Amino acid sequence: MRRFFLLGLLVAAALLIGCPVDQNLEDIGNTNITIDDVKGEWDFKNVKIGTTTYEHVHLSILPPTTEWPNVAVDLHLGHDDAYDGPFYMGYGTMEGNKFTGKYIQQISDDNTDNTEYAFIVSFSLLDEKLRAEFDAEGPLKGLVLKYGIKSED
């Protein structure tokens, strides 16, 4: 009997070791998507970056056009019902649900940091809500946006 108990503990420990600690698999959603599924304007609420929480976050995902051959991923952050925080402008390519590119940070209208940072964004949809997980250098490192609602704009 004791052997079965120990075997059960070992199996449970092995299963727990294989599970990601910081991700709930139910909230990742469908990753079998493309630019056509996620293009547009998305709004998020109460997003924490570093030590700052932004009440209003807007993510734009724009497909390539004849004038601009890249996918654009832009992120606006703000407080008090306004986008008065930093603005990040990104460009790159998208294959499946993964965007790969570079971004720069605009701190205010007259202050742009022209340092380019590499980033990969993995998109997924759950109940028509967007999740965007950033694998990035610079200020967006580790950012995860959840439960984005497609805006009417």
Distance between CA atoms of residues 106 and 109, nearest Å:
7
For the segment 16-34, the average pLDDT, to the nearest whole number, is 65
Sign of the alpha-carbon torsion through 95, 86, 76, 66? negative
Distance between CA atoms of residues 104 and 85, nearest Å:
14
pTM, two decimals, is 0.78
Lowest pLDDT segment from 105-109, 129-133, 139-143: 105-109
Q: If residue 48 lies in a helix (H) or strand (E), which one and from where to where? A: strand 40-49
In the three-class reduction of DSSP (H, G, I as helix; E, B as strand; rest coil), residue 17 is classed as helix
Output 23 or 59, whichever has higher pLDDT.
59
**CB under 8 Å to 70, separation ≥6 — which residues?**
64, 91, 92, 93, 101
